Structure 1
Amino acid sequence: MRKQILATGFVVFSFMLPLKATAASFTGIYTFGDSLSDPGNVFNTTSGNIPTAPYSEGRFSNGPIWVEELADSLGLNPTLVTTPGTNSQEGINFAYGGATTGQDNTISQIPGFPFPPLPGLEQQIQTFIQTLPKEDPNTLPQADAKALYILWAGANDYLPTQSTFTPFQTPTKPIQNISTAVTSLFDVGARNIMVLNLPDLGNNPLVLGLNQQFPGLSFQLNALTEAHNTQLAQTLDVLSESLTGINLISVDVNSLFDEALAGKLGFTKPSTPCLADPECVIDQTGNLQKQFLFWDRIHPTTTAHKLIGELAFKTLEDNQKSIPEPDAEFGLLALAALGTGSLLKRQLAKASTVRGMRDE
């Protein structure tokens, strides 16, 4: 009986110990989204035609983008889904420029697009799940629970476009799509899921320019962004409560861009795209390009991307700090275990005394 009680106590005690992964302990990064997170998938799919120079090596920017910055900070080197290789063990980037939160892609839906269809967020998730190993045909495949999964999409759901896609006027469907994406990843075993909100879409050079032709467009898109971000935060809170064991990490890109537009982050030209300034385009030192927040009318410069990557990494660190340290709780649990052990010892002694009295 003594062994049974002590064994039971040990098992309970073991399960009480919390698990904690540091930001540097992720085994890989799996990214899903649009051009803000695409280092070359559209470029590869279109045989190097989109985007072309002076865009940097297939990116929708003038240099490395934020997911590359984050991966570097984590000591990981994931591969592109369009160029699978040895680094796929450290993660895969499934993001494609033009992706919406659903099945649509605003690049491949431009009339006359001569290349294979590009996926939206929904197809990206499906492609990922199809790559997972499946031991039992009657069960879902299993993703790496120790990897980091990133979702950043939504801008293409709302922005004006030259494609046949009709932008949403409310965030209901995009938020539903993001919620479905999170749940789909969770269902196959993903546990650490990072979701980024949107910067104010009415403040980018594209919309500011269109606002002169269509007064009120900038205000409308900023209001839509606010509604999107509010509903996104609420939805993530609900998912955090309903999906047991999930670790949702929310990154507030909106506030970062607010600071940049307010001149607090060193961008002297936060509303003018670098590509609109010939001197900026041919800047060999990069010093002039660093003063611009936007590379083109929608996409940030690599300097801005670096700040996003740093914010994402800091958010990861803060997220890990909010999870109790095993060592910190070990002392408390040990005391509790000792207390339980003392109680068990007294109960066993009492039982022995009773048996002794009966024997007499």
Structure 2
Amino acid sequence: MFVFGDSLSYPGNTNGTRNAGRFFERRASNGYVFTDILASCLDLDPVTFYRPARGGVSSDGANFARGGNDTEEVLEQVDSFLGYLSGADQSANSNALYTLWMGGNDYIMDTVFNGKDAEPDNVVENISSAIKTLHDKGAEDFLIPNIESGYIVYVHYSISPSPHLPISPNNTIKYSTGFDITRYSLLVTPYSLLLSNTITNYPDSI
């Protein structure tokens, strides 16, 4: 399994720099993340993070995801994978599963920090480009999750000024700043629909 995405897929997001009591085994989570659980369900070993200086990746799988990455940065993750393939004179493993879960940070960064609206067409185009690039190199099986509503609670908690607040919608919404839930939801809804339609029709356009 080869993994591309953001903190929802990255098993080491905090790098040991944050309060260990709040983050499980350096993940941006209070437990295992998506790819940990998926690997377990598929009876696969945990997918390790890609570190070129420590031996690179194996042909069986690697995790290129990074916490905080948006869809443009995920394209850079794919480029890193292509660089590995080129150096090893290999094509992508056609028997592997390729997971790409991203998009949330495009809307979080724009809605919370930049004050502008992320364009669904641009975000979906980045994801489509990543899929096509991988497919052209030999990848065949893809898993592309969509954005889910729970992301909102995570955003509130992550920008909360207090490290002692329990994770709950009431507390996170009350103490967070600069985040417009209604605006975020209005932006994410058309994106989710566009991504779903694009992926549904993708086999005909690949």
The 2-side partners of 1:164 and 1:221 are apart by 12
Q: Tell me if structure 1 keeps the 8 A contact 2:99–2:144.
A: yes
Q: Does 1:154 align with 2:97?
A: no
The aligned amino acid for 1:219 is T
Which 4+ residue blocks in structure 1 deviate beyond 2 angstroms? 82-90, 133-136, 160-170, 200-215
Q: Does 1:209 align with 2:185?
A: no
- Please give the per-residue CA displacement for 1:81-108, whole angstroms capped at 9, x wherever unaligned: 1385698343100000000000xxxxxx
| TM-fit CA distance, 1:133 | 4.7
- Which of 60, 63, 78 is the matching residue for 1:125? 78
Q: Is there any run of 5+ residues in structure 2 with no aligned partner, and where?
A: 157-171
TM-score, with length taken from structure 1 = 0.46
Q: Is there any run of 5+ residues in structure 1 with no aligned partner, and where?
A: 1-28, 103-119, 244-360
| TM-fit CA distance, 1:170 | 2.7
206-215 or 230-239, which deviates more: 206-215
The 1-side partners of 2:2 and 2:197 are apart by 24
**CA distance change for structure 1 residues 86 and 218 in 2, over 3 Å: closer, same or farther?**
closer
What pairs up with 1:313-328 in 2 under 5 angstroms?
none
The 2-side partners of 1:235 and 1:211 are apart by 37
**CA distance change for structure 1 residues 164 and 205 in 2, over 3 Å: closer, same or farther?**
closer
- Please give the per-residue CA displacement for 1:8-61, whole angstroms capped at 9, x wherever unaligned: xxxxxxxxxxxxxxxxxxxxx100000111001x445xxx32x44121121011
**CA distance change for structure 1 residues 206 and 66 in 2, over 3 Å: closer, same or farther?**
closer
The aligned amino acid for 1:101 is T
Equivalent residue, structure 2, for 1:238:
201
Q: Does 1:186 align with 2:115?
A: no
Equivalent residue, structure 1, for 2:20:
53
Q: CA RMSD in A?
A: 3.1
| TM-fit CA distance, 1:204 | 2.2
- Residue identity (%): 31
What pairs up with 1:37-116 in 2 under 5 angstroms?
37-40=9-12, 42-44=13-15, 48-49=16-17, 51-54=18-21, 55-77=23-45, 78-82=47-51, 84=54, 88-102=58-72
- Which of 145, 153, 156 is the matching residue for 2:94? 145
Q: How many residues align?
A: 188
Higher alpha-carbon Rg: 1
The aligned amino acid for 1:239 is Y
